[in-house]
């Protein structure tokens, strides 16, 4: 997260961009390994055959996995967990101290790195959208174009949920892009919905590999992945009817998606995972970074194990007695005489592997149950909401919820999301903000962490260099 880019990437030519795709594709799992013939890596020929079209998107999938935006000590789960109420800081790094104390800025706290990383990937996606729309002769044009629209919707979902109003960059003219101002979040969501609806119409219900063939590998998005993100976006935009409708189809598809035992949720191609990112052959090879980043060997302190964060008392206190998620997804390490540390153990494969054992669960079925539960509760279908809520609770070994009123059911669902989705991709922080609970929670939590809270901190600052390079771009309110 230390490398900085201008937020609208200036192309160094398509040849250089595709050589980057080739380099990133090397050494990865097969669905990322597509060679680019030397005579077909420049200009419009990039998207004129399936192999090179697939390889162009491989670079984006590779970066999503390798750059650590979604796992590890620099991932959204860790950063939002420290910033919010899920994690306890164990680091003396100034950036982590600032993050934990809710004192980030455009130069301290590391939060601007997502802006530069995600916008950098957007250039590649926009190039793919443009090239694939005009391509001819592709056997799997719908698959590749559907993937590109899905990726653009995904990237903008995280950009707008981290920074609020953001520039809508939909083309590859960098001179025009570098004159863009922030677009209202409502307009960003409209674009996300448009992209995901396009993806949903283009992708089919089967997973495909790098050659376009049907596979059991869930590392490239299918129609269900677009549906899962649509359900989430409709929930965030309070379109309860459509949120319920989108989640309906995924929950009803018992052949492809199920709630397995807790110990099997994050395994490679688990029946719960709708779409995920497979770890690539970096160091350690084929390991989800969370597995190593949070791991505390017996008797070692976080400092001795180079662990930057452990679970907060607030999160630990949220688990009910008998919740199997606590016994399965939380580890306890006692360091004599009195120190006790708790760590997330959703990912446990941290050895040396020649292929992934687990995958980063970007979308999984339990979230869809909770999306539908909330959408149903908001429409006053409380029995339906409780049925979905209790499906998730039952898997965790808990009794049915005792909630009765609409307010109580909604509170129970928010609580369930906390203990089900903890440390996963910013869910908790985003949930607190979208439900209007963020200020109340953080006004309590921030002083306990040695910081202070203000309402503007619901959104993060953007890089100062981008504001300097684009006179139409303004800093996030409160960080000027």
Tally of domains within the chain: 1
* Residue 320 domain flag: no
Please tell me the distance from the alpha carbon of residue 327 to that of residue 185, in angstroms, as a whole number. 39
Please tell me the distance from the alpha carbon of residue 293 to that of residue 305, in angstroms, as a whole number. 9
* Residue 370 domain flag: yes
Q: What percent of the chain has pLDDT over 90?
A: 85
Helices and strands of the chain, counted as H and E runs: 20, 8
Give the H or E element holding residue 226: helix 223-236
**pLDDT value for 45:** 67
Taking CA 118 as the corner, what is the angle to CA 372 and CA 278, rounded to the nearest 5 degrees? Answer: 65
Query: Tell me, what CATH number does 196's domain have?
Result: 1.25.40.390
Lowest mean per-residue pLDDT among 298-302, 362-366, 407-411: 298-302
**pLDDT value for 32:** 38
Tell me the longest C-alpha to C-alpha distance in the chain: 69
**pLDDT value for 46:** 79
**pLDDT value for 42:** 41
The 10 Å Cβ neighbour count of residue 44 is 10
Mean pLDDT of 363-376: 98
* Residue 351 domain flag: no
Please tell me the distance from the alpha carbon of residue 270 to that of residue 252, in angstroms, as a whole number. 17
**pLDDT value for 39:** 36
Residues in CB range of 42: below 8 A, 6 or more apart: 13, 14, 15, 18
User: What tens digit of pLDDT does each residue of 145-161 get?
Assistant: 999 999 999 999 999 99
**pLDDT value for 312:** 98
Half-sphere exposure (Cβ direction) of 206: Cα atoms closer than 13 Å: 10
Spacing of C-alpha 191 from chain mean position: 18
Query: Facing residues of 330 across strands?
Result: 344
* Residue 221 domain flag: yes
Q: What is the pTM of this model?
A: 0.93
**pLDDT value for 44:** 54
Mean pLDDT of 423-448: 98
**pLDDT value for 41:** 39
Mean pLDDT, the chain, rounded, equals 91
Structural domain that includes position 199: 14-280+360-469
Query: Facing residues of 87 across strands?
Result: 311
**pLDDT value for 480:** 86
Lowest mean per-residue pLDDT among 38-52, 90-104, 352-366, 457-471: 38-52
Please tell me the distance from the alpha carbon of residue 422 to that of residue 328, in angstroms, as a whole number. 13
Residue 113 has pLDDT above 60, yes or no: yes
Query: Could you give phi then psi for residue 332, rounded to 5 degrees?
Result: -120, 130
* Residue 222 domain flag: yes
Q: DSSP letter at 206?
A: S
User: What tens digit of pLDDT does each residue of 166-198 get?
Assistant: 999 999 988 898 899 999 999 999 999 999 999
* Residue 480 domain flag: no
Give the H or E element holding residue 214: strand 214-215
């Amino acid at each position: 997260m230390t490398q900085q880019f201008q937020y609208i990437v200036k192309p160094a030519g398509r040849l250089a961009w595709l050589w980057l795709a080739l380099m990133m594709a090397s050494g990865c799992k097969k669905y990322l390994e597509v060679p680019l013939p030397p005579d077909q890596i420049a200009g419009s020929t990039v998207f004129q055959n399936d192999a090179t079209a697939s390889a162009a998107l491989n670079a984006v999938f590779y970066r999503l996995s390798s750059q650590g935006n979604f796992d590890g000590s620099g991932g959204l789960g860790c950063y939002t967990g420290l910033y919010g109420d899920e994690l306890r800081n164990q680091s003396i790094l100034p950036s982590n101290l600032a993050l934990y104390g809710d004192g980030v800025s455009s130069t301290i706290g590391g939060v601007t790195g997502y802006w530069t990383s995600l916008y950098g990937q957007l250039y590649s996606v926009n190039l793919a959208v443009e090239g694939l729309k005009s391509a001819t002769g592709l056997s799997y044009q719908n698959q590749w174009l559907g993937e590109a629209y899905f990726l653009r919707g995904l990237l903008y979902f995280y950009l707008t949920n981290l920074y609020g109003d953001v520039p809508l960059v939909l083309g590859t003219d960098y001179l025009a892009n570098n004159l863009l101002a922030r677009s209202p979040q409502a307009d960003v969501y409209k674009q996300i919905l448009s992209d995901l609806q396009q993806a949903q119409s283009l992708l089919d219900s089967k997973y495909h590999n790098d050659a376009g063939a049907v596979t059991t590998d869930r590392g490239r998005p299918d129609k269900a992945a677009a549906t899962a993100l649509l359900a989430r976006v409709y929930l965030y935009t309070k379109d309860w009817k459509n949120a319920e409708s989108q989640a309906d189809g995924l929950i009803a598809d018992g052949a492809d998606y199920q709630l397995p035992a807790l110990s099997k949720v994050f395994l490679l191609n688990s029946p719960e995972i709708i779409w995920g990112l497979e770890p690539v052959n970096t160091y350690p090879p084929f390991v989800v970074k969370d597995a190593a980043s949070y791991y505390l060997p017996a008797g070692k302190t976080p400092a001795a194990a180079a662990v930057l964060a452990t679970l907060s008392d607030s999160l630990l206190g949220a688990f009910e007695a008998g919740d199997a998620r606590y016994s399965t997804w939380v580890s306890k390490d006692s360091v004599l005489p009195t120190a006790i540390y708790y760590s997330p153990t959703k990912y446990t494969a941290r050895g040396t592997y020649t292929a992934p054992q687990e995958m980063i669960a970007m979308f999984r079925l339990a979230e869809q149950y909770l999306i539908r539960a909330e959408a149903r509760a908001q429409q006053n279908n409380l029995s339906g909401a409780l049925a979905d809520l209790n499906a998730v609770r039952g898997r965790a070994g808990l009794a049915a919820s005792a909630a009765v009123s609409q307010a109580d059911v909604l509170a129970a669902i928010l609580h369930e999301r906390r203990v089900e989705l903890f440390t996963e991709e910013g869910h908790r922080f985003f949930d607190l903000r979208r439900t209007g609970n963020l200020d109340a929670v953080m006004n309590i939590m921030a002083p306990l962490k040695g910081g202070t809270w203000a309402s503007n901190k619901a959104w993060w600052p953007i890089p100062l260099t981008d504001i300097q390079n684009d006179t139409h771009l303004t800093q996030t309110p409160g960080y000027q």
